[in-house]
Amino acid sequence: MDMNTRTRAALAGTLALGLLALAPQALAAETLRYVALVDGGKQAGQQVVTRGDDGTTKVEFIFKDNGRGPELKEEFTLAPDGTYRTYQVQGTSTFGARIDESFRREGDEAQWKSTSDEGRQTVRGTALYQPLGGSPAAFSVAFNALSQRSDGKLPLIPSGTLTSRRVAQAQAQCGAQTRDVQLVAMTGVGLVPTFVWATTDANPRLFAYIYPGFLQLIEDGCQAAAADLETRQKQAEGDALVDLAKRLGHPLAGTTLIRNARVFDSEKATLGAASDVRVMDGKIVSVSPASKDTSAADHVINADAKVLLPGLFDMHTHVGRWDGGLNLAAGVTTVRDMGNDNATLQQMMGEIAGGTLMSPDVVPAGFIEGESKFSARNGFVVKNLDDAKKAVDWYAQHKYPQIKIYNSFPKDILKETVAYAHAKGLRVSGHVPAFLRAQDVVDDGFDEIQHINQLMLNFFVDEKTDTRTLARFYLVADRADGLDLDSRPVQDFIHTLAEKQVVIDPTLATFEFLHQREGEMSPIVADVADHLPPDVQRGRRAAEMNIPDDATAAKYNRSFAKLVDFVGRAYKAGVPMVAGTDEMVGFTLQRELELYVQAGLTPSQALQVATWNGAKYSRTLAERGSVTPGKRSDLVLIDGDPTKDIADIRKVALVLKGDTAYYPEEIHEALGIKPFAPAVRVLNSR
């Protein structure tokens, strides 16, 4: 996976679903082109929109990054109010699933059909269909239709309301021409705002869509303006995020006493007796048997025998500035970033340290990729050993505890690069570079391997298999079912991992997309879907893999069961493990821990993986990972007992991150999510 949307697939899937594009009704029998740029200017896709004299708009959209991405052809007509009269799109999704969706409205009757859902609805007045698998032009129509609404609100089909507001203005240079543009924040789709640069004319349309640090989609001919617009957008988003942090964070000045909490001992994976935990200035001061003594405490938290955990670790993220709410609401107080734009990540870490960004703390892993047509364009992209050493040096100088090797890394310099990183004191982890097996990278000195598919490909590839393509997913789905986990090759590999203490970061929950069929709710949120906004629920029913029939679906289900079984066997054999996601933050970690229990871990062992192990293998155990005097007061209060029922991990009642308290109930309500547990409030005792 890696460098995905805000949570999966390098933003490619979200790009197809969530960009704003041009307003076709403003074009009038002409063609408008956009280019998609990554890595500071490398073209990775394009959008071509053609409006015919008959009012029909046709869109061709392609985006390819990291060996995958959507390819779409779209056609639609519009009603006088700017909403869809007819709409259809066909193509393939990021991971190869078929996209075939249509919509029609006649009078007050609207009907739609996609590969994952269909419906009919009576609609009166203006309302815009929200395509499930459309090109960027899907949101462009929404943007222009909004400009025709006096109240600034646009009802959506099947449900919801879209709103927008201007947050910044700028001028952009396009050759010899200067263009006035505006940055608009749109809400009502998804869990966080979408930001887009639009023109300022009577029929505004997309000028540029920018995902800071990764993607710039901009009018062809205006590429030189993208960097300045990205800087301005970061500032505007930062202002909004500062306001969010002030609204949802509750500073704890002085001493805080957490009374009568059952403290989870993450080192021993046991639940202790009721205790009082005293914290001050972001540190744990003492842990003592429960009493009624509240002396010298400025604040009191009555835990009422609820379970107190150390803050959770998500050890596989590609963190974004808007991820903080979902992470903290899930009890995640530390994340490990496994690949990002270096400048963007440094900025975020500075904002977190300065208290202006509501977010878990970040432990960075330095991303190093090799140059190829499949390259993921973040971190450093290298061509030779000298380049690789310079990248390692940069990460060492910036105090990164580890590096991460990626798919196109040159295999002939791998062993020397690993040795050089170790000499600099850095751990080495990553994907298995193309044309190698997991056994090879273990032999070359890897300390850790990311993703269950990278581990399982060990048994399915040879020196000619190019795993930079979608083969790295389909090979596992097709062949894991037939793998004998008791066979000598599998047992020898597990033994080697255990003997060398090579850590595995399986991200099992992420790989449930391998067997999810169209119309089925994503297993990540299946148990909590009724808590999510309707548009998020609908989107989570769309499959990502091409699963053409029942027989294939049954095989892919059996294959995924083998992946879960492998992880359980590895853990029992003594292979170290960390809990990561690389998908929708917060909810995915909760599902990941459930899958560990399904694999044979006890709930307490799963919690230990997400706390003690996270701190140990991120090299932060001296200050995090357990409820111990002297460590950071990163603490999570659970309204239930996840040591007995791991599903209770979702019932987060209170989170302390250092000297700030967060109420998940408040955060979820701000994101349009139905809360999972009532908040336990901090009380002032003086």
Q: Could you report the per-residue pLDDT of 209-263, keeping only the tens digit for each?
A: 999 988 899 999 999 999 999 999 999 999 999 999 999 999 999 999 999 999 9
Structure tokens at 604: 């307490």
CB atoms within 10 A of CB 379: 26
The predicted pLDDT at position 27 comes to 40
Least confident of 33-42, 261-270, 597-606: 33-42
The predicted pLDDT at position 202 comes to 81
How far apart, in Å, are the Cα atoms of 661 and each of 300, 328, 674, 681? 12, 10, 20, 9
Q: Could you report the per-residue pLDDT of 536-552, keeping only the tens digit for each?
A: 999 999 999 999 999 99
C-alpha closest to that of 79 among 133, 24, 122, 32: 24
Q: Could you report the per-residue pLDDT of 49-93, keeping only the tens digit for each?
A: 998 888 899 999 999 888 888 999 999 999 999 999 999 999 999
How far apart, in Å, are the Cα atoms of 566 and each of 452, 481, 504? 9, 12, 11
Q: What is the mean pLDDT of the chain?
A: 92
Please list, in sequence order, all residues whose beta carbon lies within 8 angstroms of the beta carbon of residue 184, skipping any fewer than 6 positions away.
20, 143, 164, 165, 166, 167, 195, 196, 197, 198
57 burial (CB, 10 Å; 0-12 / 13-18 / 19+) is buried
Q: Could you report the per-residue pLDDT of 634-660, keeping only the tens digit for each?
A: 999 999 999 999 999 999 999 999 999
**674 within 8 A of 668, measured Cβ to Cβ:** yes
Least confident of 100-114, 282-296, 574-588: 282-296
The predicted pLDDT at position 293 comes to 74
Residues linked to residue 275 through DSSP beta bridges, in sequence order: 261, 289
Task: Tell me: cis bond preceding 158? Omega within 30 of 0 counts.
Answer: yes
Q: CA 52 to CA 88: how far, in whole Å?
A: 16
Q: Whole-model pTM?
A: 0.93
The predicted pLDDT at position 294 comes to 65
Share of the chain above pLDDT 90, in %: 84
How far apart, in Å, are the Cα atoms of 236 and each of 144, 170, 197, 206? 22, 12, 12, 18
The single-letter DSSP state of residue 288 is E
The predicted pLDDT at position 29 comes to 62
The predicted pLDDT at position 525 comes to 96
The predicted pLDDT at position 152 comes to 85
The predicted pLDDT at position 140 comes to 78
Whether the pLDDT of residue 23 is over 60: the answer is no
CB atoms within 10 A of CB 104: 16
**Judging by DSSP bridges, how do beta strands 307-310 and 635-638 pair with one another?**
antiparallel
Give the residue, 389 or 14, on which the prediction is more confident.
389
Whether the pLDDT of residue 5 is over 60: the answer is no
Q: Could you report the per-residue pLDDT of 431-440, keeping only the tens digit for each?
A: 999 999 999 9
Buried b (16+ CB within 10 A) or exposed e, 620-638: bbeebbbbbeebbbbbbbb
Q: CA 592 to CA 14: how far, in whole Å?
A: 22
Please report the DSSP string for 502-519 in residue order: -EEE--TTGGGGGTPPTT
Domains located in the chain, CATH noted:
9-163+209-219 (no CATH), 254-310+625-686 (2.30.40.10), 312-624 (3.20.20.140)
Whether the pLDDT of residue 113 is over 70: the answer is yes
Q: Could you report the per-residue pLDDT of 328-338, keeping only the tens digit for each?
A: 999 999 999 99
> pLDDT band for position 24 (50/70/90)?
very low
> pLDDT band for position 147 (50/70/90)?
confident
The three-state secondary structure class of 549 is: coil
Mean pLDDT of 418-439: 98
> pLDDT band for position 592 (50/70/90)?
very high
> pLDDT band for position 203 (50/70/90)?
confident
Q: CA 543 to CA 332: how far, in whole Å?
A: 27
C-alpha closest to that of 636 among 661, 672, 615, 619: 661
Mean pLDDT of 517-523: 95
